[in-house]
């Protein structure tokens, strides 16, 4: 112990310092270190749980993204199918409208041709009647010049037959 005193160390004081350090270490371990470790363990467990939940959520998100992609693909497919059906239906309706329009035009043309033909016949009949009348008048004038009634009658009948037979 003399060595300690020569070095200027008081062994009683050193022993008291060691005891004080041991008490301080015990108190720190009991009241600070253990609660701090408990809190850190709790915190670590919470973080691990959060990481597991994050991984679970990430997996769920991947699944949802795949499902979303499938649903979108299906919706696109259905939309394309509907669009194709609509286009086919529209083309069918257009073709039907064209056919109906052609039929209507043909009917109008046919009616117009019939009307024109009827008017032509009527005009021709009218012209024949006018011509017959004019021939009769001309014949009548010529026959008046000829005094014989019989010749007049024969000529009128011939003229009338020719006009009627030309119809």
In a domain, 47, yes or no: yes
- Domain count for the chain, please give it: 1
* Residue 165 maps to a domain: no
77: domain range?
Answer: 2-121
Residue 86 inside a domain? The answer is yes
Question: Chain-centre distance of CA 11, in angstroms?
Answer: 99
Which segments of the chain have a pLDDT < 50? Answer: none
- Contact between 136 and 158 (Cβ < 8 Å): no
DSSP string for residues in 104-117: HHHHHHHHHHHHHH
The pTM is what? 0.41
Task: Judge whether 66 lies within some domain.
Answer: yes
Per-residue pLDDT, 48: 96
Amino acid 5: pLDDT: 72
| 129 in any annotated domain | no
Q: What is the pLDDT of residue 159?
A: 80
102 class by beta-carbon count within 10 Å (0-12 exposed, 13-18 middle, 19+ buried)? exposed
pLDDT value of position 118: 94
Q: Which phi-psi region, left, alpha or beta, contains residue 8 (left: φ > 0; alpha: ψ -120 to 50)? A: left
Q: Is residue 11 part of a domain?
A: yes
**Domain membership flag for residue 148:** no
User: Is 151 inside a domain boundary?
Assistant: no
pLDDT on residue 144: 67
Q: What's the confidence (pLDDT) of residue 165?
A: 77
Predicted local confidence at residue 1, as pLDDT:
63
């Amino acid at each position: 112990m003399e060595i300690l005193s020569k070095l200027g160390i008081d062994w009683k004081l050193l022993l008291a310092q060691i005891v004080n350090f041991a008490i301080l270490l015990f108190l720190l371990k009991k009241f600070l270190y253990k609660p701090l470790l408990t809190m850190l363990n709790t915190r670590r467990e919470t973080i691990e749980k959060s990481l597991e939940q994050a991984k679970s959520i990430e997996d769920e998100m991947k699944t949802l993204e795949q499902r979303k992609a499938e649903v979108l693909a299906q919706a696109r497919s259905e939309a394309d199918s509907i669009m194709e059906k609509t286009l086919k239906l529209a083309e069918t309706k257009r073709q039907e409208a064209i056919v109906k329009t052609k039929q209507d035009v043909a009917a109008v043309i046919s009616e117009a041709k019939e009307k024109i033909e009827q008017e032509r016949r009527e005009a021709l009949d009218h012209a024949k009647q006018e011509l017959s009348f004019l021939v009769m008048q001309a014949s009548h004038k010529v026959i008046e010049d000829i005094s014989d009634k019989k010749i007049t009658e024969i000529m009128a009948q011939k003229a009338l037959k020719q006009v009627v037979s030309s119809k």
